[in-house]
Structure 1
């Protein structure tokens, strides 16, 4: 299974952290894991551009924190449960990515949760229901890789160029 196997008809814009106006004409669906270095690359390189489009009312981002079973990403699953689901989510995600190398080296899951609370000032969120829905949606739509980003029928990852992304957003 690859990105070409993603069934976009099985995706929704209801489940996830919504950034921007619900009435925005373009929805950008982002499946990410906070521990993934490629998701961090996507965020670092494209967040400012996406925020410009959000601010202009052109897009709404739907960020789906995707819990993965892979041992190298399990620490991200713990951190996901500390990301707020309101407008402060992007700031929290940015702080989490900036410190990814620090909390990512912690061994114990309770240490990671404590780091989120004590060092990043985040609190545990009631997230189980959303996590379950995101996992089910990903499975039904054949989303396996992260980051997986969807705009309309287009499915891509962090390797998309800024010009290609702008072209999709300006359609």
Structure 2
């Protein structure tokens, strides 16, 4: 029986894939950037083969160091998940350049460098993910679930660990 994923706005891969990798993350979190890169290196072949559904959930967690990630998330157009993935990849790669630069300069960067505009619907999406995070007791970012098995910082998962977990879930 395949479990339906709640809040799968940013979902990559088939819904009926046997392995579900969910991550709660925030664009301003350096540990999330590390996980996102590891997932980007390891999951595409599993996604293409129909083995993994990868669901990214931007958690607008009310914590001072994450507020600029929340601001950036407000500009992502979830109706175009492939574009959002590429934007997240780039924003994570350049995180140290923008994540402490102030809200006005972040908004300018998002509108001028990326051609984005604030997405009013993201408030409701954010509240849905916050509600889910509370229900699932997600306290930190990144928090990763692989077929429901929780891996939460400070237990970081690198590319090799992610492959190992996915392979165990497939076995």
1:37 Cα deviation from its structure 2 partner? 0.3
Q: After the TM superposition, which of the residue ranges 54-63 and 121-130 deviates more from structure 2? A: 121-130
Gaps of 5+ in 2: none
Give runs of ≥4 in structure 1 deviating > 4 Å. Answer: none
Tell me which residue corresponds to 1:8. none
Q: TM-score under structure 2 normalisation?
A: 0.84
Structure 1 residues 105 and 160 mapped into 2: Cα distance closer, same or farther (>3 Å)?
closer
Tell me which residue corresponds to 1:150. 145
Structure 1 CA distance for aligned equivalents of residues 6 and 163 of structure 2:
24
Tell me which residue corresponds to 2:42. 49
1:29 partner SS: strand
Q: After the TM superposition, which of the residue ranges 109-118 and 68-77 deviates more from structure 2? A: 109-118
Tell me which residue corresponds to 2:166. 169
Structure 2 CA distance for aligned equivalents of residues 14 and 87 of structure 1:
19
Gaps of 5+ in 1: 1-10
Q: TM-score under structure 1 normalisation?
A: 0.84
1:131 Cα deviation from its structure 2 partner? 0.4
Q: What number of residue pairs does the alignment pair up?
A: 160
Matching of residues 36-75 of structure 1 within 5 Å: 36-75=29-68
Query: CA-atom RMSD, angstroms?
Result: 1.9
Q: After the TM superposition, which of the residue ranges 52-61 and 26-35 deviates more from structure 2? A: 52-61
- Please tell me whether the aligned partners of residues 41 and 159 of structure 2 are also in contact (alpha carbons under 8 angstroms): no
Pick from 144, 160, 168 the counterpart of residue 157 of structure 2.
Answer: 160
Tell me which residue corresponds to 1:7. none
- Please tell me whether the aligned partners of residues 13 and 52 of structure 2 are also in contact (alpha carbons under 8 angstroms): yes
